[in-house]
Amino acid sequence: MDLYSMMASFTFSSVFITGSNRGLGLNMIKHILNSSTVPKHIIATCRSLKADNAQELQKLAETNSNIHVLEFDMADVSGPRLPEPVKQVLDIVQEAGLNLLINNAGMNLKETFDEVSPDIMRRTFDVNTIAPCMITKAFRPLLKRAAEMKQPGEQPEAAVVNISSDLGSIDNITNAYMLAYKVSKAALNMVTKAVSGEFADDGITVVSVHPGWVKTDMGGSNASLTIDESVSSVVKVISSLQKSQTGSFFSYDGTILPW
């Protein structure tokens, strides 16, 4: 019996996952669907429902009535469109609120330091830092509502999980390759730490999770983990969250990473 199996589980009846049409997001949905306590609502976003890489997600939704697919571009968070997904989610979850928000969508342009530009920095920050921050802010009332609906205990009543990276750990950085990605993830970790304090009285747990170096379109074929290895471990970390761990930076294996 491992550490995870001995812990009481954080169970959630609703989850909202950004960037769900491929890679980690899509496979998180698959793992959650196969869990012992399948949520009543799995709300997944992708940038375009017309894109070829959204077909598998749509097929999952066709065969699982608890999956709701929303079209949402992460670059729209600073514009007028952000209230739309909030309203759509409210229509789905209604008075029960939202138990779990997973800010998964991200981008990495893999630029060298000589190639980094203001445009690359802005585009990367928009998706990796600004969008998760604004989405978390927008969904706070629904997360708070879900927290108020559950009996208090050691496990969270509601949670925000920011998918970060160990490349956002200032302690671990030795060069400026992929600088925009590294700095944006370090900034996302600051969002996690700051918001965890802001949300403390709302009963909402907020953490960052590094999924490992994963064989995805972003991670590349030389990565050390398969998607299944990464996602199964990340789902275990989420399921074993304790309220006392709010503001933490986890690796996929449950260990704590340095900021």
Q: What are 202-252's pLDDT values in tens digits?
A: 999 999 999 998 877 666 667 678 989 999 999 999 999 999 999 999 999
The amino acid that residue 255 corresponds to is T
How many other C-beta atoms lie within 10 A of the C-beta of residue 63? 8
DSSP string computed for 187-219: HHHHHHHHHHHHTGGGTEEEEEEE--SBSSTTT
Name the percent of the chain lying above pLDDT 90: 75
Nearest to 107 by CA among 141, 87, 131: 131
Q: Tell me if 86 sits within 8 A of 142, measured CB to CB.
A: yes
Domains of the chain listed by start with CATH number: 14-250 (3.40.50.720)
Give the β-pairing of 100-103 and 67-71.
Answer: unpaired
**Per-residue tokens: 182:** 């590294």
Instruction: Identify the residue with better confidence: 161 or 151.
Output: 161
**Residue 96 burial class via C-beta count within 10 angstroms: exposed 0-12, middle 13-18, buried 19 and up:** middle
Q: Partners of 199 in the beta sheet?
A: none
Q: What are 5-16's pLDDT values in tens digits?
A: 444 588 899 999
Q: What are 103-145's pLDDT values in tens digits?
A: 999 999 999 999 999 999 999 999 999 999 999 999 999 999 9
pTM: 0.92
**Per-residue tokens: 116:** 């980094």
Q: How far apart are CA 175 and CA 112, in angstroms?
A: 10
CB under 8 Å to 67, separation ≥6 — which residues?
Answer: 29, 33, 42, 43, 44, 60, 61
